[in-house]
Chains A and B, each alone.
Chain A
Amino acid sequence: MKITSNSPETTGELAAFLAGKLQPGDVLTLEGDLGAGKTTFTKALGAALGVTKTINSPTFTIIKEYAGDLPFYHMDAYRLEDTEEDLGFEEYFFGSGVTVVEWASYIEDFLPEERLEIRVSYEGEDARSFFFTPRSSHFETICEEITNEYISD
């Protein structure tokens, strides 16, 4: 499924819509080039989940935890390339919060099978495309809802 956004505001609305459908234990992977808008999307998603603190880069610490209506975990596996370490991912993936993983391909072996894969691509100064690939029936339902309720609005 592809959704195009023409501004950071629209990206924010999309993220907020998605956030409203998420449940504890949901895992979202986020791929996209530097500057593609992964951070903008994650900030909006976290804010919609009730996080009030500033969400900033987890590159250095790899995992950042935030308190919201649901716990919100922001991971960046950028520095885990070529390593096979398990940082206790299961506790996050199968925990009570929502997890967003950037550079998820570096920890492919640890990712849960049931997840929503999101790829962001740069289409111009403010325009971005979001490609959603649901990996479970729960996420398929969410994608259908996005198509029916969000896009048709």
Chain B
Amino acid sequence: MNNDQYLLAIETSCDETAVAVIKNETELVANVVASQIESHKRFGGVVPEIASRHHIEQITVTLEEALQEAGMTLDDMDAIGVTEGPGLVGALLVGVNAAKGIAFARQKPLVGVHHIAGHIYASRLEKEFEFPLLALVVSGGHTELVLMKGHNDFEVIGETRDDAAGEAYDKVARLLKLSYPGGPEIDKLAAAGEPVIDFPRAWLEEGSFDFSFSGLKSAVTNKLHNAGQKGEEFRPEDVAASFQESVVEVLSTKTKKAAAAYGVKQVIVAGGVAANSGLRARLLETFQETGQELLIPPLKFCTDNAAMIAAAGAVAYRQGHRAGWDLNAHPGLDLEEYGKRGRN
């Protein structure tokens, strides 16, 4: 009798159509991602309707490819997991309906997964979690500090009050006329520049783990505008380096303080901005000093993928979390509420 458990997961919350198969919660058997970044470059961002259409075109092919990579069939799966939210409603619906169709046709249990839980659980593909742990989630739509005292036990201890870090990157990239997605472009430029401009850091009230990046975006706009009027010019490399220095300093300092305040054993960095080399380097340095273990997933698991949804979904499945046939897309799904489902 074979006790191995397999879960197939689907992710379509934004601009990647992805399917993965995981064995026993942490062993990745297949991982396929079809990216739409090329299609969205023209618009400087993801266009929801185009994203939905791409997902519809890609989902079957991606699914077949993943099963082929795993050398398995849908009948070999113990459960089907899918990103339920947050994300773009039209995009989420493609994955949710595909998962429902498969689960119903094969009579498999269905598990809805929170996209951010997925980003955090990407790290568990590399290393077992030790609680309590702290996750810094940074992406285009999120900037949050999440405390975990156990599996699927999420407490948001800090979040952005306005723009997400990734959004600030995208907007500053637009100001510098860089191509989409802006984050990697700024990161590259910053490596060749010096942080000569002192952009503001929003620390907020003493003891707050919240973030604010909208002032920084305005400061960059104003600086470039004023310089332009005086006929001065900054090197784009230096603007990028100065902007990145401000973001990285705030993110790393707040994460360090929160990690100390809650006495966590591990610190996880999750989300697309975790791919940023400046942030990675600073966090490595920071947590080498404190001795807390820092987990940063490999680059391929930082951007959206289904492996992370499979990793989070497999834990939710073990905890008894099941979705009904009425599972719907939840663009505003709350992380803390989601975590409570499986544990009740």
Contact = CB atoms under 8 A, between A and B. Distances in A.
A135 interface: no
B140 A60 contact: yes
Contacts of A66: 332
Interface string A57-75: 1011111111000000000
B236 interface: no
Nearest to A86: B49
Given A34-B221, A57-B160, A60-B141, A79 B49 contact: no
Interface residues of B, number: 30
Nearest to A66: B332
B161 A56 contact: yes
A46 to B, nearest CB: 12
Interface residues of A, number: 23
* Chain B interface, DSSP helix/strand/loop, else mixed: loop
Given A54-B159, A83-B49, A87-B49, A63 B167 contact: no
A39 interface: yes
Contacts of A125: none
Given A56-B159, A79-B45, A87-B49, A64 B332 contact: yes
B218 interface: yes
Interface string A98-129: 00000000000000000000000000000000
Contacts of B163: 56-57, 59
A153 interface: no
A86 to B, nearest CB: 8
B214 A39 contact: yes
Given A57-B160, A79-B46, A80-B47, 5 more contacts: A54-B161, A60-B140, A60-B167, A65-B332, A85-B47
B48 interface: yes
A85 B159 contact: no
Contacts of A83: 43, 47, 49
B89 A63 contact: yes
A79 B140 CA distance: 13
A82 interface: yes
A117 B167 CA distance: 26
Interface of A: 34-35, 39, 53-54, 56-57, 59-66, 79-80, 82-83, 85-88
B88 A57 contact: no
18 contacts: A34-B218, A35-B218, A54-B161, A56-B160, A57-B160, A57-B164, A60-B166, A60-B167, A61-B87, A61-B331, A62-B48, A63-B331, A64-B332, A65-B332, A79-B46, A85-B48, A85-B49, A88-B89
Contacts of A53: 334
Interface in B14-67: 43-49
Contacts of A56: 159-164
Nearest to A80: B47
A88 B89 CA distance: 9
Given A56-B159, A56-B162, A61 B88 contact: yes
B86 interface: yes
A61 B214 CA distance: 16
Nearest to B141: A60
Nearest to B140: A60
B284 to A, nearest CB: 27
B96 to A, nearest CB: 15
Instruction: Choose among A56, A57, A87 the residue with the greatest number of B CB atoms under 10 Å from its CB.
Output: A56
A35 B218 CA distance: 7
B261 to A, nearest CB: 19
A57 B159 contact: no
B43 A79 contact: yes
Contacts of A62: 48, 88
Nearest to B213: A57
A66 B332 CA distance: 8
B86 A59 contact: no
